[in-house]
Amino acid sequence: MPESRVPRRRRFVVCEPRHFAVQYAINPWMHPDTPVDVALAQRQWHELIRVYRAHGHGVDCVEPVPGLPDMVFAANAAVVAGGRVFGSLFHAPERRPESLPYDTWFKSAGFDVYRPESVSEGEGDLVPTGRWVLAGTGFRTTREAHREAQEFFGLPVISLTLVDPYFYHLDTALFVLDDGADGGDGNIAYYPEAFSPGSREVLARLYPDAVIATREDAMAFGLNSVSDGRHVFISPGATALADQLAHRGYVPVPVDLSEFHKAGGGIKCCTQEIRS
């Protein structure tokens, strides 16, 4: 374990939950009859942004669009690696219109946007690790989109099959702790039972030293975390996982996004990263 883990400044894209709601059910967490406290959701989200900035990270905001209640989940709109933007094609018809305002934002920020031909939900399922892209399929993003992403980025894309509907996006079951930018191999944390047996074996081979989370950690959205290489912005409910991370020299920074769990999202879902 390094004496002291070194954070790297990140550039994030987010979208204020001004129109956030649970109006339809496209994952098992969503119950349109359960009320959402929009004022609390706003406070929780603004706290996340404050904490990111307090840790030195850059945060850009995309303007939210009325009638798109899931637009706060910025991670799903694209995946950016090496300055290249691979846009999204949402599985649910309700979310398809979200792609346009994000694409427009990326273009105005000086990026070209590749539009995938097959269903692909951005960083929800396509997780760049530095050396390759870990890619989820089974509920949303298709294997065809994994192939498109591999062609587009010129990075190996490693397909992993998700099997538990509560962990319908890869970023609900796995996150990158450090991307090896410091010359190391990089490492991840994940919940093995969210994956098919073969995919579990793949992860065990690639990351023999990974942090293994419990179902309780995963159900508390503990794997929907963001790491800067030192600080891990993490759901306060994932206590066992936070303890493990602290033992490995990371600094857990709890941020509570409980209102967003009602839509099936957490910290990472609200955070898109621009990797240059």
70 forms part of the interface with ligand ARG (CB under 6 A): yes
Integer Cα distance of 155 and 151 in angstroms: 8
Q: For residue 267, state whether it binds ligand ARG (rule: CB under 6 A).
A: no
Instruction: Check residue 169 for interaction with ligand ARG (CB under 6 A).
Output: yes
Based on the shown chain and the rule CB under 6 A, indicate whether residue 73 belongs to the binding site for ligand ARG.
yes
57 is catalytic: no
Instruction: Given the residues 169, 231, 261, 270, select the one marked as catalytic.
Output: 169
Q: Which of 269, 272, 273, 274 binds ligand ARG (CB under 6 A)?
A: 269
Q: Which is nearer to ligand ARG, 140 or 230 (CB)?
A: 140
Examine residue 87 and tell whether it contacts ligand ARG (CB under 6 A): no
Applying CB under 6 A, the span of 3-11, 33-41, 52-60, 167-175 interacting with ligand ARG comes to 167-175
Whether 124 and 140 have beta carbons less than 8 Å apart is answered as yes
CB atoms within 10 A of CB 154: 9
Cβ 248 to ligand ARG shortest distance, Å = 24
Which has the closest alpha carbon to 252: 269, 267, 235, 266?
A: 235
- Does 172 contact ligand ARG by CB under 6 A? yes
257 sits near ligand ARG (criterion: CB under 6 A) = no
Interacting stretch for ligand ARG, rule CB under 6 A, among 34-42, 50-58, 197-205, 263-271? Answer: 263-271
Handedness of CA 59, 276, 225, 261 (dihedral sign): positive
Contact predicate 178/131, CB 8 Å: no
Which CB atom, from 5 or from 89, has the smaller least distance to ligand ARG? 89
Candidates 41-49, 52-60, 72-80, 146-154: pick the segment binding ligand ARG (CB under 6 A). Answer: 72-80
Catalytic residue among 57, 146, 269, 270: 269
Residue 40 CA to residue 236 CA, distance in Å, equals 16
**Nearest Cα to 192, choosing from 218, 166, 231, 221?**
218
75 belongs to the binding site for ligand ARG (CB under 6 A): yes
Residue 108-147 contact track with ligand ARG, rule CB under 6 A, x = bound? ----------------x-----------------------
Write the single-letter amino acid at 40: L
Query: 236 in helix, strand or coil?
Result: coil
Strands annotated E in 52-142 = 58-62, 78-81, 84-87, 113-114, 126-128, 133-137
Which listed residue (16, 19, 23, 27) binds ligand ARG by CB under 6 A? 27
Distance, CA of 267 to CA of 218 (rounded, Å): 13
15 in active site = no
With 0-12 / 13-18 / 19 or more C-beta atoms within 10 angstroms meaning exposed / middle / buried, residue 6 is exposed
> Please, which residue, 5 or 12, has the CB nearer to ligand ARG?
12
Judge contact between 257 and 235, C-beta under 8 A.
yes
Contact positions vs ligand ARG (CB under 6 A): 26-27, 30, 70, 73, 75-76, 95, 124, 169, 171-172, 263-265, 269
- Show which residues are catalytic: 169, 269
